[in-house]
Structure 1
């Protein structure tokens, strides 16, 4: 079973316990969590959230099965430098619908890694796990994430008003989606050739 995917000098691999320190460090930063619906987090909070997911991934991989939770670490291939993490989390009661998520460490911003993470998750969702839909969201004002999803083909689907309270201010949640039927076979062919 495939455990890693490469694009140029980027490696996407299933998240492991060894990755948690880097993820916890990233998610403790106010800059990284500015537009997230969670954080900044303590190391303990990050470990408590990710440890069960990683255990589930490990158990599935030991049985040579594709995991139910699709959480990936992003690293530079040549240096093993931590870039960030991305995930597809199943939407409850809707088989084949996944919520997309990606967080890039602030030291790696403006290098195209968010676009690569979103594109990789589109490939993985529709080619590896045969999803029919990917649901995306972001806080209004997170222009980078909004542009990333739109560039990947996601369509705006709506707004949830006053969804998130942060620093004493309410923020709207913007909703996006990409259906498998929206992605041409030509684009899937290119993605298959890109993520080797």
Structure 2
């Protein structure tokens, strides 16, 4: 395996977004990102329990685990949807809002049902992401750790729109947009997304690892 950095996820949507973000970095032109940047499963790492109670704790937990098990630099993120009316929920429970084994569609449907009677002026929400980069060191102790946060503010729609993206993308309309996140192209979404902002804040450090 020619991997040089591992993205601590099994989510292929996140992997595509991450590779697309790095593809825009001048110093990485010509690098085969499909080979150099792999997901955790490809690197031989199984599911990692997310036992933290904040996005930062879960992000670092995943990156540290992958870096220790693979000996490679690892990037992780923990992200979710924070609904103002719900005090920031679903938050770290976003991926399992409708139950431990629920899928994206079930999570979206439940949230829309819970807010079905809420007027548009009270449907403020944001995607929040904390990204982490962990450089492995000796004896299981990281040589360096970095984190960054990104947010995408918006309004929850009353029904799903769009076929792109994943997760809650079809029901969040970014501030200043008339389209949902799922109606944006990958390039448009990366330019404004919470994950794109968090990863972009770490990009210069990630480039140092890959260049």
- TM-score norm. by structure 1 comes to 0.31
Higher relative contact order (CA 8 A, sep 6+): 2
TM superposition score normalised by structure 2: 0.30
Q: Which of the pair is proportionally richer in strand?
A: 1
Higher-Rg structure is 2
Q: Going by fraction, where is helix more abundant, 1 or 2?
A: 2
